[in-house]
Structure 1
């Protein structure tokens, strides 16, 4: 069976682009593909009709640089997300996207309510306790089932350390995205 070369439109990665998932594999025979979202709530994948792809760091590359992938449809399916894009009309086209990293502009994310935050917006924020003592910088967030935990990086005696604080209202007083600061009710020796 002959493979048709992918004809994807080269594009500039938007300055506010956020990596939201990867393409896992083809799904069916009509060009649909399976997506592994980086979030348990992949709303950014559903809200954006323009995905930007970059090839996987490993494995065979079927395209180079950044390309624009106009999305016809993306939906939940079982425990994953499946999508169908313009110009990808058969299984071979979908397989050629395997491993590609998916980026969407942060500006296309759905709005959040007052006490909701996207994890990507919290990474890099400085965390201080009520007394104004610096506790570290958010390196990542981790879901532990019932709650999310802030994983902070800080230095003590010249050594890199890690501190974890539950991201719940009992400990988090204020998140100020403009000031890039989170205030918590937490002591360094907890």
Structure 2
């Protein structure tokens, strides 16, 4: 599994400002969404910005979330962080339940068909609402393979660095 030191996981993003005392609005991708505050320190990144922070406090507010960041005391300071992605070290996250996977752990794995035809490597995943989809790249070729265990995903073997799929290599 890809839990090596330094591996980062995106858990959210700063999406706006709240008030005049430096608070920011967040989008959290953790479940439950308030769990984002348990994983610290955060690394905030955007073009021209890379800042590590600990001691972040926050709460839910309506459909969104508001956070107070140490050292950020006014709206102008907070504005420089809007758009930053929030990442944390992978080893801060709890182990996934059996049969569940963190997307970051799947990225980079080799993908082969049940007939051992190499399709490429997992570039990234995204959700369609109905199911998650693996983006498998082999050079310039890109395939979208539903990450549905059983019908399409036959096995995930972290030791071998491989995912076996039931998928037509011509598709």
TM-score range, shorter chain: 0.7 to 0.9
Q: What's the offset of the Cα at 1:43? A: 7.2
Alignment-derived partner of residue 22 in structure 1: 13
CA distance in 2, matches of 1:178, 1:131: 20
Change (3 A) 1:47 1:175: farther
When normalised by structure 1's length, the TM-score is: 0.72
**1:112 and 2:96 correspond:** yes
C-alpha deviations, 1:74-119, integer Å up to 9, x for none? 4444444432222234433322322333221111123210111111
Change (3 A) 1:161 1:23: same
C-alpha deviations, 1:44-71, integer Å up to 9, x for none? 73331311223x31xxx6xx6x432123
**Greater gyration radius:** 1
- Aligned match for 1:129, one of 98, 113, 119: 113
Which residues of 2 match residues 137-176 of structure 1 at below 5 A? 137-155=121-139, 160-169=140-149, 170-176=151-157
Alignment-derived partner of residue 56 in structure 2: 72
C-alpha RMSD of matched pairs (Å):
2.6
Q: What's the offset of the Cα at 1:183? A: 0.9
Change (3 A) 1:77 1:131: farther
Q: Structure 2: any 5+ residue segments left out of the alignment?
A: none
Change (3 A) 1:40 1:105: closer
Change (3 A) 1:105 1:183: same
Alignment-derived partner of residue 183 in structure 1: 164
Query: How many residues in Structure 1 have an aligned counterpart in Structure 2?
Result: 165
When normalised by structure 2's length, the TM-score is: 0.79
CA distance in 2, matches of 1:18, 1:128: 25
Q: What's the offset of the Cα at 1:182? A: 0.4
